[in-house]
A = this chain, B = another copy of it.
Amino acid sequence: MARTSGAELAQLLLGGFHAMADEVIAELERRGHPGVRPAHEFALRAIDAGADTASALGRRLTVSKQAAAKTIAGLEQLGYVGRTSDPSDARLKRVQVTPRGHELMTVGARLFDEVRDRWAAQIGAAQLAEIERQLVALIGDRREQAQGEAPQRAT
């Protein structure tokens, strides 16, 4: 069984993501955060980490600024972020995470960590940490590499 082909590996990675995300979203719904999507979670973290404009968020998440703007619109509608114009640069709309947004981040992080902890219990904390280390080595650079590129192909 030299199985686990490349295609299977891809499916495992995607399946792993879904396994975590589906559970967290379902639990968030139960805990007073209906309508939240994985993309919201990640975007909120990126915003809080400093990507506080649509363009910056797009670069951070390696998606177009339009996609980022849509996500922000969704977050705003759910009450997780607010937007105000930047006084020193009228082009910018700065995004701030609301208290409810911070609460979502806290709960969401804990739920993700819970799944991770269960996984650690299942295969061993060292093994899981090792997987993370290798994944970072494999694709951590992908993010930084994308950082310098233009997210928008044509203009």
Are B9 and A112 in contact (CB-based, < 8 A)? yes
Pairwise interchain contact B138-A19, C-beta atoms closer than 8 A: yes
Chain A residues 97 to 111 lying within 8 A of chain B, measured CB to CB, are 108-109, 111
Partner of A136, one of B4, B14, B117, B134: B4
List of B residues within 8 angstroms of A143 by Cβ: 15
Contact with B along A124-150 (1 / 0, CB 8 A): 000111111111111110110000000
Complex interface: chain B residues within 8 A of A132 (CB): 4, 8-9, 12
Q: Tell me whether B127 and A134 are in contact (CB under 8 A).
A: yes
Interface residue SS majority, chain A? helix
Sort chain A's interface into a size bin.
Answer: 35 or more
Known: A4-B133, A10-B112, A15-B143. 19 other contacts (CB 8 A): A5-B109, A5-B116, A6-B112, A7-B41, A7-B42, A7-B45, A7-B112, A10-B17, A10-B24, A13-B14, A15-B135, A15-B142, A16-B138, A19-B139, A122-B138, A123-B137, A127-B130, A128-B134, A130-B130
Chain A residues at the B interface, C-beta cutoff of 8 Å: 4-17, 19-21, 24, 38, 41-42, 45, 108-109, 111-117, 119, 122-123, 127-140, 142-143
Q: Top 9 nearest A-B pairs by Cβ distance?
A: A6-B112, A6-B116, A6-B113, A13-B17, A14-B17, A13-B16, A12-B135, A7-B112, A4-B132
